[in-house]
Amino acid sequence: MASSHATILGIGNPLLDVSVEVDPAMLEKYKLDANTQYLASPETLPLFKELETNPKCKKIPGGSSQNAIRAAQWLSKTPKFAAFVGCVGDDEFGKNQRDILVSEGVDCKYEVIETQPTGTCAALITGKNRCLIANIGAAGFFHTAHMLKPEIAEVVEKAKITYCETFFVTVSMEALLMVGHNALVHADEGKLFAMNLSAKWVIDGHLKCLLELIPYSGCVFGNEDEARCFAAGMGWDEKEDIITIATNIAMLPKLAPQQKRCVVITQGSDPVVMAVAEWGVGEKEGEKAPLLPVGGGDHRGKVQPPALPSSSAKSSSETQCSESQYYPERHARVTVSTFPVQQIPKEQLGDTNGCGDSFVGAFLTALSKGKNFEECVHVANKVAQVVARADGCVFPPTCEIEV
């Protein structure tokens, strides 16, 4: 039975991944090189029109938040469990993308504009080589006013969890602050705002925006490169050890300190690192303490992380390593855990495109169903493994993973 309203809402840039085998002559035509990534230019834009009518194209919805929402929907097994907001063009690619999302059960809340083409990422395959050309297109022209439409405002109001990629800070920071504030207002009801560090260029160019969003967050996701880039941007002394960095992010200011904050850093095939900060607690397990304001200064303070093995250490254990540290001056405790990742045999490995996004979607789905953070990581790892065995961010027709 379909959900009466979406439990998880995603906001971001919907990009249709378009993959096709081509003759090397097409690369020559557009002056492109194999195994190279490009942003679309006036010279390469006509290529997208060619692909639009090419029957051999494999078209898969993409974009970070959209991938996460598709994973959440697949894992939930409930129609319209997850919803997505973003902007597409009034064209075949936009229609293709909407049709796929709807067929997968996602409650698709696109804004559709006529002035720009749907955002796409073209993968031109020549033999075993790939040439990638990204055209953000309509996704970059999202109007904040779309969030104020009654049908969108209702989804925002009723969702338990709202998730955003921070690529979107260059599109509509206002929209992200709107959903962050909505989560803050309803924090006592368990509503959660989750976000992703997304990319090094986002952190390098838009750190101020991230620091505006993080105080609203109950969950922050990223990979090891993004975490280290964030630490460097913050000017922290420790810029390499992921455990220390995750701990420092977890202890950043929080506007709803009655909620825990969970920071999850994935490292490919190396262990997942998770830091969970909890405020208003005493030194003894189960003991309460006054809830202190979590803020002040320039938000760049550092804390001493729990004494765990180095995050770069390999582990073959099936169980996670976990330790906690109490900070009496903040009435806070941070618990850091590491989770080994099951290795996939090379012959079973597809590609890693969308694995991190799928991890996030699965984690948030498990969280919405009452699982604790540790259980959420285990479920997320299983879903990421499914995607890692596929070519692109695609899912089997049925989900055999239980939440």
Write the pLDDT tens digit of every residue in 352-383.
678 899 999 999 999 999 999 999 999 999 99
Say which residue, 345 or 149, is predicted with more confidence: 149
Helix (H, G, I), strand (E, B) or coil at 392: coil
pLDDT value of residue 304: 53
- Whether the predicted pLDDT of 4 surpasses 80: no
Residue 114 CA to chain centroid, in angstroms?
28
Give the confidence band of 296 by pLDDT, cuts at 50, 70, 90.
very low
Give the separation between CA 79 and CA 185, rounded to whole angstroms.
28
Give the separation between CA 138 and CA 213, rounded to whole angstroms.
24
pLDDT value of residue 313: 39
Q: Which helix (H) or strand (E) holds 11?
A: strand 8-11
* Backbone φ/ψ region at 38: left (φ over 0), alpha (ψ -120 to 50), beta: beta
Least confident of 77-81, 293-297, 378-382: 293-297
Give the separation between CA 81 and CA 293, rounded to whole angstroms.
35
Residue from 17, 91, 241, 357 carrying the catalytic annotation: 357
Contact status, residue 339 vs residue 377, Cβ threshold 8 Å? yes
* 63-108+140-388 CATH, one of 3.40.710.10, 3.40.640.10, 3.20.20.70, 3.40.1190.20: 3.40.1190.20
Q: What is the CB neighbour count within 10 angstroms for residue 262?
A: 25
pLDDT digits (tens, 9 = 90+) for 111-126: 999 999 899 888 888 8
Q: Is 91 noted as a catalytic residue in this protein? A: no
Average pLDDT of the residues of the chain = 89
Give the confidence band of 241 by pLDDT, cuts at 50, 70, 90.
very high
pLDDT value of residue 314: 38
CA of 169: how far to CAs of 31, 153, 208, 221, 379, in Å?
32, 20, 10, 16, 29
Maximum C-alpha span of the chain: 69
Share of the chain above pLDDT 70, in %: 92
> What is the DSSP-derived secondary structure letter of residue 305?
P
Give the confidence band of 16 by pLDDT, cuts at 50, 70, 90.
confident
Handedness of CA 26, 29, 32, 34 (dihedral sign): positive
> What is the DSSP-derived secondary structure letter of residue 337?
E
Give the confidence band of 299 by pLDDT, cuts at 50, 70, 90.
very low
Q: What strand order describes the sheet that includes 332-339?
A: 107-108, 82-85, 8-11, 161-165, 192-196, 219-223, 261-267, 270-279, 332-339, 321-327
Residue ranges of alpha helices (H) inside 241-305 are 242-250
Q: What tokens appear for 277 in the block?
A: 């900060």
Contact status, residue 104 vs residue 74, Cβ threshold 8 Å? yes
pLDDT value of residue 128: 65
